[in-house]
């Protein structure tokens, strides 16, 4: 980027960030997630670092937002309510520790107080002679709003400080001010929105904005209904016996104020990073939201000595968890063709880090989604990634456009085979109708080898491409004729890896009927439908000969699915593929008696098991007539808990009182 482009980009970023900040802090509206906004701020800071002479005092990088609303009395804070600078990585944390260590006396070994950064709004509660006299919002940090009447309704704030004999008497005399976060618990937020939905009222966006909006209600009785909470993170002044940040929390607790309970005193970057990694996942189980940790120099005297830079203390930082949303630029929009022929537009992105991995592509789902979200080539977009899900484009930021952006047009023809794409009425999806299209065949083979189908180890997308390109296979049935010599002739394959692949394929010649049916890749036949079909027909021969009427009798199968299966079975291609698999000696394992000792029992399996994979354990359960469900419901009879189980499954089972058994108990059930 040259200087002229940087000037323009900085200007646009500032406008966008200012707009975001104003809506977020003053109007309590959320136009993008905080992590997306952070991503924009980060870009701005990087650009300003590259062109320091472009920094202006009014840049969003130089100030803290949030003007007090004029409906409450404005009250100046005793000392400013500061904000924190962010760090986003181990490197940035290290750099900060290094910087402050240099400023501390030689040989001084800093200790850090590390706590969860709560996602609410900052407030101060002031006690005089032990009684609550005033509660203020942060406002702009210098002047807050008097919300005493509202805060008095928050049950977690004591109206009088709790008496504790170990606290020096002078603490109860005169003025003491605590600062903390007003929050709404995720569960309370859900319940509130559920009630509003029932009453036909508009829903709130998120717990943080709801808490902020509630505290600014003029009617305290409304606040009282909303179940807000308060958790202290520090205090103002120098009461006797308070030498460290940890002491502040300790004192608050003794005086009856809630404090964030998960904090620790840690010695350095390594320990902080370990704690951060731990909370990156565990935070989802916290009752309130968080997007990071606060790391503070524990020694209050040293913290004070380091002073304040701008609006933030030098001796504390916010460590932000890896963003699950980020912003980046769309370099191109392309179309990929899946195994059903569906044409899926996807964005080619400037590589960016989201939730710990580099993202270069994100799905745009279908043509009408691209239009609805108005995503253009050249746009800055918000992308997000949740768990193992494919990254997606959430939306574009039109304010950042230069005018050079190009709108997306769905191509008329398949990018792989050139056949004209077709669209069935009422469907959002364009499809390549050419059954023999390379992309469709590739997709079918990948599906055939996938985990829930034939589960062929080591047969990933790249290997499928290589096999197709070297013409060693034309369809999935050909896989079973491959020899190690064939495979070893391909690029990137050595003798040993070729042997391994061929062995993995041969080992999977016999699979359950449900895997077999699922692997065929019939439209609308997912794993559950395949299981229903297998249970109903019992053998491949019976399934193969099923008529549309017979298919419609299968419990759980509707007209559309029955029609799709009948069409596939009635097609020459379908029957030929089945014949070809039979000739290759690929066949479903005969079904075990469905009326087994576990019939009528439902299982959910979570975590890693020692004796077998979850899939195999599930097959053994089903072979004895049991059912395996993806998640815990009222119908679940057992939750089988392996190592590192899914937290949501365990907590759901606890809530419903579902019996939890370990692997040994499962093995007993499967045995005798
Ligand atoms: S310490 C100098 N500790 O984060 C400010 N802040 O970005 C000292 N926050 O305005 C803040 N949880 O509203 C601290 N455990 C925690 C916090 C926390 C949330 C908020 C607070 C502050 C903002 C700074």
412 SS3 class: coil
Pair 79, 42 in one domain? no
pLDDT tens readout for residues 115-144: 999 999 999 999 999 989 999 999 889 999
CATH at residue 141: 3.30.470.30
Pair 85, 54 in one domain? no
Pair 482, 549 in one domain? yes
Name the β-bridge partners of 292: 117, 320
**pLDDT at residue 388 is higher than 80:** no
Pair 329, 313 in one domain? no
User: Which letter does DSSP use for residue 420 in this model?
Assistant: B
**Residue where a domain stops, chosen among 299, 320, 341:** 320
Q: How far is the CA of 103 from the centre of ligand 1 (A)?
A: 23
User: Whole domain around residue 392: which residue ranges?
Assistant: 325-407
Residue 522, domain member (yes or no): yes
**pLDDT at residue 69 is higher than 70:** no
Residue 590, domain member (yes or no): no
CB 615 within 8 A of CB 451: yes
**pLDDT at residue 539 is higher than 50:** yes
CATH at residue 492: 1.10.150.20
Pair 201, 299 in one domain? yes
Q: How far is the CA of 317 from the centre of ligand 1 (A)?
A: 9
**pLDDT at residue 66 is higher than 70:** no
The DSSP secondary structure of 104-151, one letter per residue, reads SPTT----EEEEEEESSEEEEEEEETTEEEEEEE-TTSSEEEB-HHHH
527 SS3 class: helix
Residue 503, domain member (yes or no): yes
Please state the atom number of ligand 1 nearest to the C-alpha of residue 312: 2
SS3 content of the chain, % helix, strand, coil (to 5): 40, 20, 40
Pair 223, 297 in one domain? yes
Pair 177, 222 in one domain? yes
**pLDDT at residue 387 is higher than 60:** no
**pLDDT at residue 372 is higher than 80:** yes
Q: What is the dihedral of CA 539, 544, 545, 547, to 10 degrees?
A: 110
CATH at residue 639: 3.40.50.10190
**pLDDT at residue 41 is higher than 70:** yes
| Count of structural domains, the chain | 5
State the Cα angle at 261 between 96 and 87, rounded to 5°: 20
Pair 638, 493 in one domain? no
Ligand 1 pocket, CB under 6 A: 82-84, 115, 117-118, 122, 181, 233-234, 260, 294, 313, 316, 318
Q: How far is the CA of 134 from the centre of ligand 1 (A)?
A: 20
Catalytic (active-site) positions:
117
Residue 130, domain member (yes or no): yes
Residue nearest to atom 13 of ligand 1 (CA): 122
CB 183 within 8 A of CB 230: yes
Answer left, alpha or beta for residue 381, where phi above 0 means left and psi between -120 and 50 means alpha. beta
Pair 43, 118 in one domain? no
Residue 421, domain member (yes or no): no
Residue 594, domain member (yes or no): no
Residue nearest to atom 10 of ligand 1 (CA): 83
Residue 223, domain member (yes or no): yes
Q: Ligand 1, residues 37, 64, 115, 118: which to mutate, most atoms within 8 A of Cβ? A: 118
59 vs 430 pLDDT, higher one: 430
User: Which letter does DSSP use for residue 337 in this model?
Assistant: E
13 vs 358 pLDDT, higher one: 13
CATH at residue 50: 1.10.287.610
Positive or negative: CA dihedral 576, 582, 583, 584: positive
pLDDT tens readout for residues 594-628: 567 888 788 999 999 988 889 889 888 888 888 88
pLDDT tens readout for residues 175-189: 999 999 999 999 999
Q: What is the CA radius of gyration of the chain?
A: 31
Rounded CA-CA distance 200/605 in Å is: 39
CATH at residue 340: 2.40.50.140
Pair 273, 128 in one domain? yes
Pair 192, 253 in one domain? yes
Q: How far is the CA of 600 from the centre of ligand 1 (A)?
A: 52
Rounded CA-CA distance 575/570 in Å is: 7
Instruction: Please report the pLDDT score of residue 26 as a whole number.
Output: 41
What's the token pair of residue 221? 């009785």
Which DSSP helix (H) or strand (E) runs through 327?
A: strand 325-337
Pair 564, 444 in one domain? yes
**Residue where a domain stops, chosen among 407, 424, 454:** 407
Residue 591, domain member (yes or no): no
Taking the alpha carbons at both ends of the chain, their separation in whole angstroms is 71
């Amino acid at each position: 980027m040259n200087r002229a482009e940087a000037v323009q980009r900085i200007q646009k970023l500032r406008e966008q960030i200012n707009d975001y900040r104003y809506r977020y802090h003053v109007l309590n509206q959320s136009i993008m997630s905080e992590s997306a906004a952070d991503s924009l701020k980060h870009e701005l800071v990087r650009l300003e670092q590259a062109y320091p002479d472009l920094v202006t005092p009014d840049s969003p990088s130089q100030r803290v937002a949030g003007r007090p609303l004029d409906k409450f009395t404005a009250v100046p804070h005793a000392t400013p309510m500061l904000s924190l600078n962010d760090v986003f990585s181990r490197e940035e944390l290290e750099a900060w520790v290094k910087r402050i260590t240099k400023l501390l006396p030689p040989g001084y070994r800093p200790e850090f107080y590390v706590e969860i950064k709560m996602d609410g709004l900052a407030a101060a509660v002031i006690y005089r002679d032990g009684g609550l006299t005033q509660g203020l919002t942060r406002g702009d940090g210098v002047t807050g709003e008097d919300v005493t009447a509202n805060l008095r309704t928050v049950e977690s704030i004591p109206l009088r400080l709790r008496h504790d004999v170990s606290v020096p008497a002078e603490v109860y005399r005169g003025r003491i001010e605590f600062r903390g976060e007003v929050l709404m618990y995720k569960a309370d937020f859900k319940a509130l929105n559920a009630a509003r939905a029932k009453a036909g009222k508009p829903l709130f966006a998120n717990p943080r904005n709801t808490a902020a909006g509630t505290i600014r209600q003029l009617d305290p009785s409304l606040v009282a209904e909303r179940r807000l909470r308060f958790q202290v993170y520090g205090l103002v002044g120098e009461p006797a016996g308070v030498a460290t940040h940890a002491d502040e929390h300790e004192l608050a607790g003794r005086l009856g104020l809630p404090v964030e309970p998960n904090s620790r005193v840690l010695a350095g970057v390594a320990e902080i990073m370990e704690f951060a990694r731990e909370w990156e996942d565990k935070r989802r189980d916290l009752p309130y939201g968080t997007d990071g940790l606060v790391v503070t120099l524990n020694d209050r005297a040293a913290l004070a000595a380091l002073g304040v830079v701008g609006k933030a203390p030098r001796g504390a930082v916010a460590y932000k968890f890896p963003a699950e949303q980020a912003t980046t630029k769309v370099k191109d929009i392309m179309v990929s063709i899946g195994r059903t022929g569906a044409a899926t537009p996807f964005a080619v992105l400037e590589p960016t880090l989201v939730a710990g991995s580099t993202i270069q592509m994100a799905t745009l789902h279908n043509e009408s989604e691209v239009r609805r979200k108005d995503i253009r080539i050249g746009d800055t977009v918000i992308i997000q990634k949740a768990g193992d899900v494919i990254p997606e484009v959430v939306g574009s930021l039109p304010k950042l456009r230069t005018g050079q952006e190009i709108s997306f047009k769905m191509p008329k023809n398949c990018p792989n085979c050139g056949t004209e794409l077709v669209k069935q009425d009422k469907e959002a999806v364009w499809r390549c109708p050419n059954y023999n299209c390379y992309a469709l065949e590739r997709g079918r083979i990948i599906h055939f080898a996938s985990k829930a189908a034939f589960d062929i180890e080591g047969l990933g997308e790249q290997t499928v491409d290589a096999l197709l390109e070297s013409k060693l296979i034309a369809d999935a049935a050909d896989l079973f004729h491959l020899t190690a010599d064939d495979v070893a002739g391909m690029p990137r394959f050595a003798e040993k890896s070729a042997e391994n692949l061929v062995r993995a394929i041969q080992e999977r010649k016999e699979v359950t009927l449900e895997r077999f049916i699922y692997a065929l890749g019939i439209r609308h036949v997912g794993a559950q439908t395949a299981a229903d079909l297998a249970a109903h027909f019992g053998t491949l021969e019976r399934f193969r000969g099923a008529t549309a009427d017979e298919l419609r009798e299968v419990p759980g199968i509707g007209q559309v699915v029955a029609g799709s299966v009948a069409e596939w079975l009635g097609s020459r291609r379908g029957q030929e593929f089945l014949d070809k698999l039979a000739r290759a000696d690929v066949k479903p394992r005969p079904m075990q008696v469905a009326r087994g000792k576990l019939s009528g029992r439902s299982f959910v399996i979570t975590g890693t098991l020692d004796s077998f994979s979850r899939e195999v354990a599930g097959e053994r359960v089903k072979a004895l007539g049991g059912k395996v469900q993806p998640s815990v419901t009222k119908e679940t009879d057992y939750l089988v808990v392996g190592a590192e189980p899914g937290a949501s499954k365990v907590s759901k089972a606890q809530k419903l009182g579902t019996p939890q058994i370990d692997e040994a108990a499962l093995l007993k059930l499967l045995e005798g």
